[in-house]
A and B are shown apart, each in its own frame.
Chain A
Amino acid sequence: MSDPNLKVVASVKAADRTAVLSTAVPNTAVRDVDAWSRAAQSRLAADEVLLAVAETDLDAARRFAPGAVALTTSRLLSLSVVNRRVRVIGEWPLREGALTLGDHAGVATLDWRAGNALLARWEFRLGLQPAAQGLLDAWHRWREGDHAARSAQCRSCGVEVSVSVSVCETCAEDEQPPSTLTLFRLWRFARPYKSRLLLGFVLTLVATAATLVPPYLTKPLMDKLLIPYQNGQDLDKELVSLYMLGLLAAALVGWALGWARTYVLARVSERIGADLRTATFEHLLNQSVSYFGSKRTGDLMARIGVETDRINVFLSLHLLDFATDILMIAMTALVLFSINPWLALVTLLPLPIIGYLIHVVRDRLRRGFERADRIWSEVTNVLADTIPGIRVVKAFAQEGREAERFRAANRHNLEINDRVNKVWSMFAPSVTLLTEIGLLVVWAFGIWQVSNDEITVGTLAAFIAYIGRFYTRLDSMSRIVSHTQKAAAGAKRIFDILDHQSNVPEPAHPRPLAKVEGRIQLDGVSFRYGNRQVIRNLYLDIKPGEMIGVVGHSGSGKSTLVNLVCRFHDASEGAVRVDGIDVRELAVADYRRHIGLVLQEPFLFFGTIAENIAYGRPDATRPEIVAAARAANAHEFIMRLPHGYDSLVGERGQSLSGGERQRVSIARALLIDPRILILDEATSSVDSTTEKAIQAALDNLVRGRTTIAIAHRLSTLRRADRLVVLDRGEMVETGTHDELMARRGAYYALHQAQARQAEMLLEDGAGGIGLGGSGPDGLNRDGLNRGVAAAPGGGT
């Protein structure tokens, strides 16, 4: 099959187009959806539009072979490379079949069937599945009549992404080896201190020059004073004191300048380090919630704490030393050559040898240090896992196991460091040995020259004095290698964070949001997490002030729904609108200011109760704080604490019970007076008596606000205007409690299950979970009594 259009495909290298394709469509990790897209694009009919392309990497016999499937508005194309050319090896009109995707044992299968007949099958490794999922989704949309192409595909793997980012989260994480060049990117943080850095450099220059004066003075001291004296002449006392003064002055100037230089540069580098740390933390705060879900706390903390400090030390100490060393060597070499070129040449002889030695050891050290770094974060990760989970560790009596894990990580750390140290310990003495040999050579050559009367004893003495400084500098210079490698690795880990774009991006021109009515519309919202579809095509219109209860099994997408409304994630498809405005068009912080959030596990920060209540509005007055606490039913228990509202809570603070913490968090939400309220399992972690107190607080909170409440326990939702039942990401039912009970569907089943559970508990005498009629505590139960009573009546 000859194809003139193919020229378009590989027009980059017309002469060698197959090479282009065979490198661009490979079995390796470098994937290029674009190449296949171009290939498919070139074969379309006039009115045909390309909807999606998915790569495949196995042939019918499951041998590795490049290929692709392309979905257009009318056909399904199968592309492959035959005889080094891209060919369409099959095509099917879209009308006649159905597409399914499955996987087993790491191989995914995309099937195209008509009735029972299998028309085509593509197989590929799971890494390519996201793109196939995208193609499948596009086909589903096509079937539903949406023939528009979605242009946003991840540049790297082809999975569909929201329009605002070009690379999906999975691909963005791909690692790159640390390079010393990363260190130059630190310039961005150094720029504000340009002038002080320049001052530091000038000081370094002068200070170094000052230290070169004393050895220079040895020459005249020898030649003009000591040797003539030994030969019987009188000592010129005036000249002696002049030289001595010169030596002292040089030492003093060197000391003063060295101090000034170190002070100036250390101050600057400390500030650069601080800026870096702040910038990283600020950037981190703007990341989406899912970013934190995918990172380990210990690792992030190590990056911001340890790595910035390492970079800081590198800049203030090692880099400074290195610069001084370079200057020193250059200036020394200059002086030596000006005194005697031949002797200078001999003196500098060991330099290239040492340079070579450094180069050899450098690679081995770098790999060693990188591994040591990774092992080190393993050690911190054990800590970060164990300390917050200490109750679980103790409850299961696994202290021994955790200790063993830590010991193992530590032992690993030790082994790696031992190995690095083996190379390292050999390295430094080798440099010293070379310098000793160098000294020997200079002595030998110098004595020979002196015996030939080519140089004076003074010159030789000056050389020996210089060379002492010179070689110790070389020695310390060789250490810079490991420090640079460490700092580069650190900088890379920092820039990993700084380069990561939030997947909840701020709009370029945010629309102002002054007042919120509280109308929320979910308009065909879907959400995919990685390659898992969590929310499917959800439509929901919530009126201002309405309370919606969301129920469903765990994993049905309830929390994701709430995360979408809060804009912790962005919808993969469709839109969340508030008062008719797409939330993506609003500034994130501006929008969230109108949302009150009460979570299952309320988090209190370390600080006083008053500070915690006023977290969302630090300017709140004390009467306002007390009023919020009263409305949240928290005032009385707060007053019972020894320091009232000034009691410390949070980590290291006064311990509050779950219900008390929850009421503080409700007061926190009340104080910002939000138009939109999200209750995410707000009462499920407390017992039913406490729930009563919280429920009363919540009733105060809900009044007049648009509320979305998630609850596992249906009793919590008795005040909801409307209930939404979710199952596997889809809305299966909606209506009031009575309507849903009458329908005898999913909600009815859930309700019956909970009622049975409550009855069992009551029979056991354990007291209620808040369901099932005859309990003594009226407030909590009346809503449910109504529910239980309505069930038979409504159903029959």
Chain B
Amino acid sequence: MNAPAPASWQLFRNPAGQWCLEADGALHERVAVARAFPISAPEESVCVLDADGHELLWIDDLTALDEARRGRVEAALTAREFTPVIDAILHISSISTPSRWTVRTDRGITDLLLPGEEALQRVGARSILVADADGVQYLIRDTGALDRASRKFLERFL
């Protein structure tokens, strides 16, 4: 199975607000755009899948696209992804779980409830995925880049 590489393609949003892909003349509605390595290499590979989950388009390198296309792909990605990136942990309610954390993310300051220590999962060498009690996943991209206070909070749970 090779990566599908249509000669021409266009990603757009139809009037109903659904993302559509026109590839080599064929129209696919309600497509989904997903990153292959959202944590380890978010800018690299992106994939467009149809409503049944079959692959329609494979983009090797997001940065190689022209501005307009890239903008639309990123818009489609933002519409689907929700992984706030934690910049700092401002406060924790207790050092035993469940623990309520106040965090500053790239999407603003919010609260999350950490159900247990196993909700912190290491991904790769430096990243940590935080799954809160509601199933939303937050990402700490680089534990080394956190400020001292945040690192101290985090160490209590790792």
- B41 contacts A608, C-beta separation under 8 Å: no
Which B residues lie within 8 Å of A645 (CB)? 36-37, 40
Interface size on A, residues (CB 8 A): 22
Known contacts: A622-B45, A636-B49. The answer to whether A644 contacts B37 by CB under 8 A is yes
Known contacts: A630-B1, A635-B55, A636-B54. The answer to whether A610 contacts B37 by CB under 8 A is yes
* Cα A680 to Cα B1 with chains together (Å): 24
- A652 contacts B54, C-beta separation under 8 Å: no
B38-65 vs A, Cβ < 8 Å mask (1 yes, 0 no): 1111001101010001110000100000
- B39 contacts A643, C-beta separation under 8 Å: yes
- A648 contacts B129, C-beta separation under 8 Å: yes
- A608 contacts B35, C-beta separation under 8 Å: no
* Cα A183 to Cα B142 with chains together (Å): 44
The answer to whether the Cβ of B90 comes within 8 Å of any Cβ in the partner chain is no
Which B residues lie within 8 Å of A643 (CB)? 38-39, 83, 129, 137
Contacting residue for B121 out of A622, A623, A653, CB 8 A:
A653
- A644 contacts B44, C-beta separation under 8 Å: no
- A626 contacts B40, C-beta separation under 8 Å: no
B135 CB to nearest A CB, Å: 10
* Cα A198 to Cα B47 with chains together (Å): 63
A779 CB to nearest B CB, Å: 15
User: Which residues 208-263 of A have a CB within 8 angstroms of B?
Assistant: none
- A639 contacts B37, C-beta separation under 8 Å: no
The answer to whether the Cβ of A344 comes within 8 Å of any Cβ in the partner chain is no
- A648 contacts B1, C-beta separation under 8 Å: no
A631 — nearest CB in chain B belongs to which residue? B1
A611 — nearest CB in chain B belongs to which residue? B124
Which B residues lie within 8 Å of A638 (CB)? 36
- B54 contacts A646, C-beta separation under 8 Å: no
* Cα A626 to Cα B39 with chains together (Å): 15
- A652 contacts B55, C-beta separation under 8 Å: no
Which B residues lie within 8 Å of A640 (CB)? 34, 49, 53
A641 — nearest CB in chain B belongs to which residue? B34
Contacting residue for A639 out of B1, B55, B118, CB 8 A:
B55
* Cα A659 to Cα B35 with chains together (Å): 23
B102-142 vs A, Cβ < 8 Å mask (1 yes, 0 no): 00000000000000001001011000010000000100000
A697 — nearest CB in chain B belongs to which residue? B1
The answer to whether the Cβ of A529 comes within 8 Å of any Cβ in the partner chain is no
- A630 contacts B2, C-beta separation under 8 Å: yes
B82 CB to nearest A CB, Å: 9
A630 — nearest CB in chain B belongs to which residue? B1
- B53 contacts A637, C-beta separation under 8 Å: yes
- B121 contacts A646, C-beta separation under 8 Å: no
- B39 contacts A630, C-beta separation under 8 Å: no
The answer to whether the Cβ of A106 comes within 8 Å of any Cβ in the partner chain is no
* Cα A633 to Cα B53 with chains together (Å): 13
The answer to whether the Cβ of B3 comes within 8 Å of any Cβ in the partner chain is yes
* Cα A201 to Cα B119 with chains together (Å): 46
B35 CB to nearest A CB, Å: 6
B34 — nearest CB in chain A belongs to which residue? A639
- B38 contacts A623, C-beta separation under 8 Å: no
- A608 contacts B1, C-beta separation under 8 Å: no
- B1 contacts A646, C-beta separation under 8 Å: no
* Cα A634 to Cα B1 with chains together (Å): 10
Known contacts: A648-B129, A652-B118. The answer to whether A610 contacts B55 by CB under 8 A is no
Q: Which of B35, B39, B53, B124 has the most CB of A within 10 A?
A: B39
- A644 contacts B2, C-beta separation under 8 Å: no
Which B residues lie within 8 Å of A608 (CB)? 39-40, 123-124
A354-377 vs B, Cβ < 8 Å mask (1 yes, 0 no): 000000000000000000000000
Contacting residue for B38 out of A633, A635, A644, A653, CB 8 A:
A644
User: Which residues 628-669 of A have a CB within 8 angstroms of B?
Assistant: 630-631, 633, 635-640, 642-646, 648, 652-653
* Cα A631 to Cα B2 with chains together (Å): 8
- B44 contacts A622, C-beta separation under 8 Å: yes
Q: Which of A610, A639, A644 has the most CB of B within 10 A?
A: A639
- A636 contacts B53, C-beta separation under 8 Å: yes
A646 — nearest CB in chain B belongs to which residue? B39
* Cα A636 to Cα B34 with chains together (Å): 11
* Cα A610 to Cα B47 with chains together (Å): 16
Known contacts: A623-B60, A631-B1, A652-B118. The answer to whether A610 contacts B137 by CB under 8 A is no
- A610 contacts B40, C-beta separation under 8 Å: yes
B16-45 vs A, Cβ < 8 Å mask (1 yes, 0 no): 000000000000000000111111110011
- A644 contacts B121, C-beta separation under 8 Å: no
* Cα A743 to Cα B93 with chains together (Å): 76
A607 CB to nearest B CB, Å: 8
* Cα A630 to Cα B53 with chains together (Å): 14
Which B residues lie within 8 Å of A626 (CB)? 3, 36, 45
* Cα A768 to Cα B41 with chains together (Å): 43
B135 — nearest CB in chain A belongs to which residue? A642
Known contacts: A622-B37, A635-B55. The answer to whether A648 contacts B44 by CB under 8 A is no
B119 — nearest CB in chain A belongs to which residue? A652
Which B residues lie within 8 Å of A635 (CB)? 1, 55
User: Which residues 66-115 of B have a CB within 8 angstroms of A?
Assistant: 83
* Cα A642 to Cα B138 with chains together (Å): 12
Q: Which of A608, A631, A652 has the most CB of B within 10 A?
A: A608
A241 CB to nearest B CB, Å: 47
B43 CB to nearest A CB, Å: 12
* Cα A639 to Cα B44 with chains together (Å): 14
A640 — nearest CB in chain B belongs to which residue? B53
- A622 contacts B49, C-beta separation under 8 Å: no
User: Which residues 436-455 of A have a CB within 8 angstroms of B?
Assistant: none
22 A-B residue pairs with Cβ-Cβ distance under 8 Å, sorted by A, are: A608-B123, A610-B37, A610-B40, A622-B40, A622-B41, A622-B44, A622-B45, A623-B60, A630-B3, A636-B53, A636-B54, A639-B47, A640-B53, A643-B129, A644-B36, A644-B37, A645-B36, A645-B37, A645-B40, A646-B39, A646-B40, A648-B121
Known: A626-B3, A639-B53, A646-B37. 11 other contacts (CB 8 A): A622-B45, A623-B45, A630-B2, A635-B55, A636-B49, A639-B49, A640-B49, A643-B83, A644-B35, A645-B37, A648-B123
Q: Contact residues of B with A, CB < 8 Å? A: 1-3, 34-41, 44-45, 47, 49, 53-55, 60, 83, 118, 121, 123-124, 129, 137
A-B interface, 5 closest residue pairs, ranked by CB to CB distance from nearest: A646-B39, A630-B1, A644-B36, A639-B47, A640-B53
